[in-house]
Amino acid sequence: MNIKDFSEVTSLSPHTLRYYEKIGLLLNIQRNPSGHRVYTSRDLEWAQFIVRLKDTGMPLDNILEYAQLRNLAERQTLLEAHRCNLRRRIDDELLHLKALDKKIDYYKNQKSP
């Protein structure tokens, strides 16, 4: 798959894909004889995981750290710490939602003049 198609499938811009390759987040990208990048299904799976981690709020530095780890226990520990942070954020967001619902209910129950 070329960079244009890969970009569309992953929702990552070609610029972002090149940047990820430059910083070592996307490794071993194959090239065709003319030098253009050729992405594989394995690259797609990894890029989708990167997007998932970013969408859950993991900083790029932590994603890069995860990618560089070779010890499975260390990778697991990093993901467990991220999961803990994500759960905390979700709990906070649920409290915010509850407060908003309460205020909306208050306005709904007010009588119009």
Domains of the chain: 3-108 (1.10.1660.10)
- Determine the pLDDT at residue 112: 64
Reported pTM: 0.83
Q: What digits encode the pLDDT tens for the residues 63-107?
A: 999 999 999 999 999 999 999 999 999 999 999 999 999 999 999
- Find, among 43, 37, 44, 45, the residue nearest to 18 by Cα: 37
68 contact partners, CB below 8 Å, separation of at least 6: 24
Alpha helices (H) in 11-109, listed in sequence order: 14-23, 41-55, 60-68, 72-108
Token digits for 1? 């798959």
